[in-house]
Amino acid sequence: MTAPPTPSTASAAAAPAPVRPLDAVLGVLARLLTPVLVVNLVAQVLIVVTGGVVRLTGSGLGCPTWPQCVPGSYTPVVQQAQGWHKDIEFGNRMLTFAVGAAAVAVVVCVTAWVVRTRAPKRLLAFAAIPVLGVMLQAVVGGITVLTDLAPAAVAAHFLVSMVLVAASTVLLLALARPVAPASARVEVRAVVGALAVVAAAVLALGTVVTGSGPHSGDAATPSRFGFDPRTVAWLHADAVWLFVGLVLALIVVLRLADAAPRARTWARWLLVVTLLQGAIGYTQYFTGLPGALVAAHMLGASLLTLTVTGAVVAVTGTPWHALVAASTTSVATTSA
């Protein structure tokens, strides 16, 4: 006669392996990866628009010093001469912490994901770009205030944000939707490379137009670069026409190369964003630069950076796509 199983041996055979608390936490963080990457990208775009509100309301020196708002206080004080401008500038400084928190969350979630999936560790260096960029922006923002809104500092502040929007887009696509190159054809790669270079030139020229116009920082000192606003605006628009030609060329070469649908979809979105942004550009130019349109143009510049990056990455493939895709698949198989 065999002895009945004791309660302890019976449950040992049936019970699943206990989940360690650390594994559970890593699992939750890894699952949050995609939402956190989306929030980070949205935050990087939105801070460009709120920074624009500071400029467009002439509040750039609302807090006349940095890192304190006024000498002796990190927060605005009632007696300050800057009126409500101080609240706008201080509000934007506070938003930096929200954007910073999203960037830190990216590092935490990517770390958890790398530990769980054994994905390449170099992804961690890549994931640190937003948080390092926010720190850099805090310094560039400080230099902007301490140089009394020098136009080159204002332009650098904007352009660093564009780099952060691009990097955040690449991170999201690389980790959430890894893809192989859409086409290895040299014509496709040449067009997409030219597109990225001309996009950078359009953005840089845009900041020169801003620095030569009425919205260059505070209402008291317009046209800080001192260039003729009409001439630089037309130069900026000419570069945009070159860009439109390249976007059309990209759509055609992707079709001729029978490239992956993902790249063709990005290229079509890029055309839509470019045409809308161009329409806003001409409208604001011919209507005397109303603040709302200038803010919309800044949002458009960020969305254009996002879509150019998406198109480039769809054509060239996301970084380490094979390794990332393999890690994702192995975890899905293990947990199934």
For residue 110, the one-letter residue type is V
Q: Which residue in 123, 127, 164, 203 binds ligand HEM (CB under 6 A)?
A: 203
Q: Note whether 161 and 45 are within 8 A (CB).
A: no
Q: Note whether 182 and 262 are within 8 A (CB).
A: yes
Which 237-296 positions form the footprint of ligand HEM (CB under 6 A)?
237, 240, 243, 274, 277-278, 281-282, 284-285, 289, 294
The span of 67-75, 92-100, 143-151, 236-244 binding ligand HEM (CB under 6 A) equals 236-244
Q: Which residue in 82, 111, 210, 316 binds ligand HEM (CB under 6 A)?
A: 210
Give the residue with the Cβ less far from ligand HEM, 52 or 133. Answer: 52
Beta bridge partners of 73: 70
Q: From the CB of 15, what's the least distance to ligand HEM, in Å? A: 59
Q: From the CB of 64, what's the least distance to ligand HEM, in Å? A: 21
Residue that the structure tokens 């939105």 belong to: 46
Residues in the chain, total = 336
As to burial, measured by CB atoms within 10 angstroms (0-12 exposed, 13-18 middle, 19+ buried), residue 18 is: exposed
Q: Counting contacts by CB under 6 A, is residue 233 touching ligand HEM?
A: yes
Q: Which residue in 76, 130, 206, 319 binds ligand HEM (CB under 6 A)?
A: 206
**Interatomic CA distance for residues 266 and 260, integer angstroms:** 11
Beta bridge partners of 70: 73
Q: Note whether 65 and 77 are within 8 A (CB).
A: no
Give the residue with the Cβ less far from ligand HEM, 163 or 237. Answer: 237
Name which of 252, 304, 299, 295 is nearest 275 in CA terms: 304
Q: From the CB of 313, what's the least distance to ligand HEM, in Å? A: 18
Q: Counting contacts by CB under 6 A, is residue 215 touching ligand HEM?
A: yes
Q: Counting contacts by CB under 6 A, is residue 304 touching ligand HEM?
A: yes
**Interatomic CA distance for residues 161 and 164, integer angstroms:** 5
Site residue total, ligand HEM (CB under 6 A): 28
**Interatomic CA distance for residues 130 and 104, integer angstroms:** 8
Which 163-202 positions form the footprint of ligand HEM (CB under 6 A)?
202
Q: Note whether 100 and 130 are within 8 A (CB).
A: no
Q: Which residue in 90, 113, 126, 158 binds ligand HEM (CB under 6 A)?
A: 158
Q: Counting contacts by CB under 6 A, is residue 40 touching ligand HEM?
A: no
Q: From the CB of 89, what's the least distance to ligand HEM, in Å? A: 16
Q: Note whether 327 and 33 are within 8 A (CB).
A: no
Q: Note whether 37 and 175 are within 8 A (CB).
A: yes
**Interatomic CA distance for residues 54 and 40, integer angstroms:** 21
Give the residue with the Cβ less far from ligand HEM, 50 or 80. Answer: 50
The span of 80-88, 91-99, 204-212, 321-329 binding ligand HEM (CB under 6 A) equals 204-212
Residues that bind ligand HEM (CB under 6 A): 52, 158, 202-203, 206-207, 209-210, 213, 215, 233, 236-237, 240, 243, 274, 277-278, 281-282, 284-285, 289, 294, 297-298, 301, 304
